[in-house]
Chain A
Amino acid sequence: MQGAADHIVLAAFVIIGILFVPLTLTASRLLAPSKPDERKLDTYECGSEPIGPPWVQFRIGYYVYALLFVVFDIETVFLYPWAVAFDHLGLFILVEMVIFIAILAAGLAYAWKEGALRWR
Chain B
Amino acid sequence: MTGLHLLIPEYLLLAGAIAALFIERVSGREGAGAALGAVVALAAAIAAVVIGAQGAIAGGMLALDAVAVTVRVAIAALTAVYLLWLVGRGMGPERSREAVAFVLFAALGSMLMASARDLIVLFISLELATMPAYVLMGYRRNDERNLEGALKYFLLSMTTSLILLYGLSFLFGIAGSTSLVAIAAAPPAGLLGTFASVFVFIGLFAKMSAAPFHFWAPDAYAGAPAGSVAFVSTVPKLAGTAVMVNLATALVPHAPVLPAVLALAAVTSMLLGNLAAFPQTDIRRLMAYSGVAHTGYVLLALSSATPAGYAAAVFYTIAYVVPSMAITLIAAEEGTALDDLAGLVVRRPAVAWGSVVLLLSLVGVPPMAGMLGKLFAFTAAVSAGRLALVIVAVVMSVVSAGYYFRILRPIFFASRSDAPVLASSRSAAVAFSLLVAATLALGIAASPLLSYLGVRFF
Chain A residue nearest in CB terms to B1: A92
CB distance from B131 to the nearest CB of A (A): 13
| Chain A residues with CB under 8 A of B21 | 106, 110
- The 8 A CB mask of A88-110 against B (1 = contact, 0 = none) is 00001000000000010010011
A106–B21 Cα distance when bound, in Å, is: 9
CB-based contact B1/A110 at 8 Å: no
Q: Please give, as numbers and ranges, the residues of chain A lying within 8 Å of B452 by CB-CB distance.
A: none
Name the distance in Å between B423's Cβ and chain A's nearest Cβ.
Answer: 28
List A residues 105-120 near B (Cβ within 8 Å).
106, 109-110, 113
Please, which residues of chain B bring their CB within 8 A of the CB of A92? 1
Closest B residue by C-beta to A110: B21
Chain B nearest CB from A41 CB (Å) reads 37
Q: Is the CB of A113 within 8 A of B25?
A: yes
A60 to B22, CA, bound (A): 25
Complex interface: chain A residues within 8 A of B1 (CB): 92
Q: Would A106 and B25 count as touching, CB distance under 8 A?
A: no
Interface centre among B14, B18, B25 (most CB of A within 10 A): B18
* Separation of A106 and B18 alpha carbons in the complex (Å): 7
The distance from the CB of B8 to the nearest CB of chain A, in whole angstroms, is: 14
A48 to B34, CA, bound (A): 55
Q: Please name the residue on chain A nearest to B25 by beta carbon.
A: A113
| Max count, chain A CB within 10 A of own CB: residue among B1, B14, B21 | B21
Interface residue ranges of B13-43 to A (CB < 8 Å): 14, 18, 21-22, 25
* Contact assessment for A103 and B18 in the assembled complex, using a CB-CB cutoff below 8 Å: yes
Q: Which residues of B contact A110 (CB under 8 A)?
A: 21-22
Closest to B21 in A: A110
The smallest C-beta distance from B116 to any residue of chain A, in angstroms, reads 19
Q: Which A residue sits closest to B18, measured CB to CB?
A: A106
> B14 contacts which chain A residues (CB < 8 A)?
103
The smallest beta-carbon distance between B268 and chain A, in angstroms, is 40
Contacts of B22 in A (CB 8 A): 106, 109-110, 113
Q: How far is the CB of B178 from chain A (nearest CB, A)?
A: 19
How far, in Å, is B394 (CB) from chain A's closest CB? 49
| Complex alpha-carbon distance, A106 and B25, angstroms | 14
- Min CB–CB distance B68 → chain A (angstroms): 23
User: A residues bordering B, Cβ < 8 Å?
Assistant: 92, 103, 106, 109-110, 113
A-B residue pairs, 8 tightest by C-beta: A106-B18, A110-B21, A92-B1, A103-B18, A113-B25, A110-B22, A106-B21, A103-B14
A-B contact sample (8 more), CB < 8 A, given A103-B14, A110-B22, A113-B22: A92-B1, A103-B18, A106-B18, A106-B21, A106-B22, A109-B22, A110-B21, A113-B25
